[in-house]
Chain A
Amino acid sequence: MASASVTLSLCSSLATHSRICTKQHPSPTFSLSNNTYLNSLSFSSHKLSLSSSSSRAFPLLSKSSDSDAAVLESEPGPTEVEAEQIIQISPEQVPKREEVFAVVMIGSRQYIVFPGRFIYTQRLKGANVNDKIILNKVLLIGTRTTTYIGKPVVTNAAVHAVVEEQGLNPKVVVFKYKKKKNYRRNIGHRQPNTRIRITGITGYQDYPAVTLDS
């Protein structure tokens, strides 16, 4: 129970994105299939229900917490009461949104993106703040029921994003030293980056989907 309460309170601190993760739990499909999946491993069911809930909540937490902490000011002292309120509100406010993610390639790096969140990429040259960009190289799209696996890309699929900020990574001290040669170099470096917010994932419906047979 301790872990469950911790996840709840953490969820409540992330105001908007907690709705996504809290929404998952009441869905019957997830809980059923989770149970079957875990029973096949033949652990005890009680322990697994705990661990499964935390594992479902943790990816959303970890991805949102490192990315959203900068923008959303966490509420001081989130309690379980607030979390329960969010749970009650969430089905009404976000009734239709599908849980969908995509793996998109940006400059030879691959990112798992969710609509509504932001990611830091390497600097996109020539992009200005508030530019809308379309990322075409989508390698995989997952929805609640199906997965679209690109070979190597999901054709016609696109991830829409907005450039939010052209910034710099934290400073890195580049200290070079060679012994006995009186050689020292102390250089600071800040790698330029770009923060983009994912607005939507479209165009994947026509691609042949993969659904699990079992």
Chain B
Amino acid sequence: MNKDKIFKLAKGFRGRAKNCIRIARERVEKALQYSYRDRRNKKRDMRSLWIQRINAGTRQHGVSYGNFMHGLLKENIQLNRKVLSELSMHEPYSFKALVDISSNAFPGNKNVVFPPKKEGISIVV
């Protein structure tokens, strides 16, 4: 890559990394390596984020993430984790229906997890 492109990509870097071509080239190359790597890592990061969101959604109904997914598997519901997390955030009633189906399919998950008690908050606020 030529100098102009390097400096264009180095905009906003700290210290001499944005002004000196030798250092800027090093830092830009390293940055592009990171971005190559992190395009792959992004997929697992997002998946773990979706799982956390689903877990937060299901625990409001007293079901853990693992048992919820097991119930969906038994019912052969093939929604992926991206869609499930979006449903849990934006479509609470559809998500509730999914949790009900899941807990009916796998009754062992009932009375396992208790929803977090948040009684203290209403008193404080």
Listed in ascending order, the chain A residues whose CB lies under 8 Å from chain B are 33, 37, 41-44, 47, 55, 58-59, 101, 103, 110-112, 139-140, 142, 147, 149-152, 172-177, 184, 186, 210-213
Contact = CB atoms under 8 A, between A and B. Distances in A.
Interface residues of B, number: 34
A147 B125 contact: no
B93 A33 contact: yes
B111 interface: no
B79 to A, nearest CB: 6
Nearest to A144: B93
B98 interface: yes
Contacts of A58: 90
A139 B5 CA distance: 46
Interface stretch (B10-18, B63-71, B81-89): B81-89
B93 A177 contact: no
Contact residues of A: prevailing secondary structure: strand
Interface in B68-103: 75-80, 82-83, 86-87, 89-94, 96-98, 100-101
A142 B15 CA distance: 53
A59 B92 CA distance: 12
Given A43-B118, A110-B82, A210-B97, A175 B29 contact: yes
Contacts of A176: 36
B29 to A, nearest CB: 6
17 contacts: A37-B92, A44-B121, A44-B122, A47-B125, A55-B89, A139-B78, A147-B93, A147-B98, A149-B77, A151-B76, A152-B77, A152-B78, A173-B32, A175-B29, A175-B32, A210-B100, A212-B96
Given A151-B77, A175-B29, A142 B94 contact: yes
A152 B79 CA distance: 8
B52 interface: no
A183 to B, nearest CB: 12
